Amino acid sequence: MSKFVKFSKLRSATDSTFWAKFVELKIDKFKLDEKSISIWGSYGLQSLNEDNSNPLTLDFTSFNEDVETVDNSLSVLCCGRMINTNTFEAFRQINPEKFIDSMGKDVINSIQDGTALQSPWKLSLFLVLAYSDLKKYKFYYWVAHPTPLRLPEMYYEESPKSINEEFRAKHVEDLCQGFLQLDSRTKNYFTVLLSEGDKMIIVDLATGVKAINTSNEKQSQEYNEIYFAFYDPCATSNPGWPLRNLLCLLCWHCPTYYFSKVIKFISIRGNKAQKSLVFAFRSRHYENYKNERDSLFLSNLVGWESNLNDKLGPTIVNLSDTMDPAKLSDRAVNLNLKLMKWRLVPHLDLEKIYNLKCLLLGAGTLGCAVARVLLGWGVNNITFVDNSNVSHSNTVRQSLYSHQDAVKHKYKAYAAKDAVLNIRPSINAEGVVLHIPMPGHVVGESMLESTKKSLEKLEELVENSDVVFLLLDSREARWLPTVLCAAKNKIAINAALGFDSYTVQRHGTRNFTNPISPDLEVRNPRGVDLGCYFCNDVTQPGNSQTDRTVDQQCTVSRPGLSQIAAGLAVELLITLLQHPLGIEAEALVRRDNISPSDTDLVGLLGCVPHTIRGSLWNYDTHLTITHRFTSCTACSVPIVAEYKNRGLSFVLDACNMPNYLEKLSGLEQILKRPDLDELCYALDNTSDDDEDDKKI
């Protein structure tokens, strides 16, 4: 008895771009979906291994939905199905036999319903079972090339020949040319006919099968010789694994032929088919071959690859070491954020947050803590403004600075910039050393030029920002930024600390075309009617630094407070950004009776208060409202109009002239009104006095 045909098994190879692309899709598109996805694999014809074997390659193009977009002229394409489990546990618990049986059914179906005759790539279906550790860039995967276990056995009729032995040179050339001209997806399987006129013709499987069955019926052949060809990535003396499904197809569609004739196969090998072999096989003789055919697909499917240890089992790829750290970091940075979209907040607009331009005025305790939370949210543009240096007492509270920054007396603005770059190298960070002009801090002749430059720079910075955080260490330092934010209508977020209490606030918007007073009766005012930090003051901000002892100069606050206030400040901003009304969102006051359908109040991430006050004395928080005040010394129409008209000279007057702002805003007039008490009562009823919450 002649030799029984064995098949060389297949090997696949994933390159790192495959997994990188997969991670991207998993995070952004598939998310929790564990359903199988269609992918492509290819045998590259240009880059064979030294032994001429050719692995099925999976790379970033494997996920292309439209296969036409792949440059496939020099490759053989196979279609595949991939399942990636969400957990390692699920991956481990999948039974490989059941998996290949159920997922591989498509091969059987394509043979039985004949679609494989026209779409030969369906015969070379491969399967990928994977679990991807998205945090650690570690991938567990296992590839199968499903084919029925019980294939009616074939035996060598003669020894394999090279095509040069089988064919004359012209036919060899025709074969090679013909193979290369086939579409990538039909290079897997095709039929080679030698016609009566001794011409070599390359046709598809359907034509080959039809030719055989016609000959069978008519008892006369329309061809001299018929060869079934398959692309064979294996390089042993045995035919490769892809032949198995071809045999099944022939067994199913031409059973008489299959069980009675010698069948010739061309195993296409080498990058131009020049190393191809010709096999001649014959089936065992069966009493009732029809039974054999019918039971063909009753057996289980097989075809799992061995891993690098030559064992049946998954391969583990660890890409965390090989990927570019900066890129890895950039992807990883967003992982936690993108995971939010999987389940919790599918409509979260991370692009908006990424692109946000944040200006942090003050890089002290609050500035550092705010920057940390912005980093956590993936904000990509942060500018720090501060004019002081890192001192030794800062480092334990100001979370961006190290002991060395203090030793070197680095400017906080620069040290903060360096620190965020050290955390996320790709971030767009800037540091500006700048002194902010302040009411009550007289600007003398000698400081005129530097004040002019400071104002110009600050105007430019505010203009180029989307959000301005007021994190400065005095009340009066927040005045000019408040004026600028009102004039340029930027979002302003304000945070201030006491010893054991904090205030976090968003400033209202300013619409100067309709400057009527806000309706104090509205329960949840919109952004346009909300006040700024100065809206419930009855005096203009002044010099609070003069004559303050050191425990008043540095904010002496409980260390946990700045983290809490900074956390709330950034979350307030993010909630606001993700609210359909944005900065105009209605301000939440009380906490009862929030209806999720009230979309003016409730946004994607919840509600947006105007002012949050909290205390560590009794762990209480309050949400309060301050209405826009038409005589505010910072954001009212007369103030902003004068700033727009006079710029620097307005700012100088504000710094140098006592009560200038009170006069200009109309506050002075109000304070002279006989009905002042009633007025104050009305103001008090709509807002708490927040003086105690500010610096002690």
Active site residues: 554
The residue among 667, 366, 347, 587 whose CA lies nearest residue 494 is 366
Residue type, 66: D
Residue from 9, 457, 558, 694 touching its own copies (CB under 8 A): that is 558
Residue from 194, 605, 657, 679 touching its own copies (CB under 8 A): that is 605
The residue among 607, 614, 613, 568 whose CA lies nearest residue 591 is 607
Pairing mode, strands 602-603 and 587-588: unpaired
SS (H, E, C) 191-228: EEEECCCCCEEEECHHHHHHHHHHHHHHCCCCCCEEEE
Draw the binding track, 13-52, toward its own copies (x: CB under 8 A; -: no contact). -------------------x--------------------
Name the one residue in this structure whose structure tokens are 């006989």.
Answer: 674
Residues 400, 422: Cα–Cα separation, whole Å:
10
Q: In sequence order, what are the beta bridge partners of 306?
A: 312
- The reply to whether 546 sits near its own copies by the rule CB under 8 A is yes
- The reply to whether 376 sits near its own copies by the rule CB under 8 A is yes
Residue from 6, 49, 73, 90 touching its own copies (CB under 8 A): that is 90
Dmax of the chain from CA atoms? Answer: 122
Name the one residue in this structure whose structure tokens are 């967003």.
Answer: 334
Residue type, 554: C
Chain residues 107-136 in contact with its own copies, contact rule CB under 8 A = 133-136
Residue from 118, 355, 422, 428 touching its own copies (CB under 8 A): that is 422
Stretch that binds its own copies, among 292-300, 389-397, 630-638, 655-663 (CB under 8 A): 389-397
Q: Which is nearer to its own copies, 90 or 312 (CB)?
A: 90
Chain residues 155-174 in contact with its own copies, contact rule CB under 8 A = none
Taking a C-beta distance cutoff of 8 angstroms, is the pair 12, 234 a contact?
Answer: no
- The reply to whether 350 sits near its own copies by the rule CB under 8 A is no
Taking a C-beta distance cutoff of 8 angstroms, is the pair 434, 457 a contact?
Answer: yes
Which run of H or E residues covers position 501? strand 501-506
- The reply to whether 329 sits near its own copies by the rule CB under 8 A is yes
Stretch that binds its own copies, among 159-167, 324-332, 644-652, 680-688 (CB under 8 A): 324-332
Compute, in degrees rounded to 10, the torsion defined by CA atoms 402, 407, 409, 413: -10
- The reply to whether 653 sits near its own copies by the rule CB under 8 A is no
Q: Which is nearer to its own copies, 20 or 373 (CB)?
A: 373
Residue from 273, 438, 607, 661 touching its own copies (CB under 8 A): that is 607
Q: Which is nearer to its own copies, 156 or 342 (CB)?
A: 342
Q: List % helix, strand, coil for the chain (3-state, nearest 5).
A: 40, 20, 40
- The reply to whether 4 sits near its own copies by the rule CB under 8 A is no
Chain residues 261-320 in contact with its own copies, contact rule CB under 8 A = 320
Structure token pair of residue 637: 């129409």
Distances (CA, A) of 162 to 237, 255, 268: 11, 27, 10
Residues 613, 501: Cα–Cα separation, whole Å:
7
Chain residues 464-503 in contact with its own copies, contact rule CB under 8 A = 499-500
Radius of gyration of the chain (CA): 38
Q: Which is nearer to its own copies, 133 or 668 (CB)?
A: 133
- The reply to whether 523 sits near its own copies by the rule CB under 8 A is no
Stretch that binds its own copies, among 35-43, 59-67, 235-243, 619-627 (CB under 8 A): 619-627
Q: Which is nearer to its own copies, 89 or 519 (CB)?
A: 89
Q: Which is nearer to its own copies, 297 or 377 (CB)?
A: 377
Q: Which is nearer to its own copies, 155 or 499 (CB)?
A: 499
Q: Which is nearer to its own copies, 127 or 602 (CB)?
A: 602
Shortest Cβ distance from residue 92 to its own copies (Å)? 10
Residue from 36, 86, 109, 216 touching its own copies (CB under 8 A): that is 86
Question: Would you call 591 exposed, middle or buried from its count of C-beta atoms within 10 A (0-12, 13-18, 19+)?
Answer: exposed
- The reply to whether 535 sits near its own copies by the rule CB under 8 A is no
Residues 552, 530: Cα–Cα separation, whole Å:
30
Stretch that binds its own copies, among 8-16, 239-247, 365-373, 624-632 (CB under 8 A): 365-373
Structure token pair of residue 596: 């999720």
Question: Would you call 35 exposed, middle or buried from its count of C-beta atoms within 10 A (0-12, 13-18, 19+)?
Answer: exposed
Stretch that binds its own copies, among 161-169, 185-193, 199-207, 611-619 (CB under 8 A): 611-619
Residue from 218, 310, 521, 559 touching its own copies (CB under 8 A): that is 559
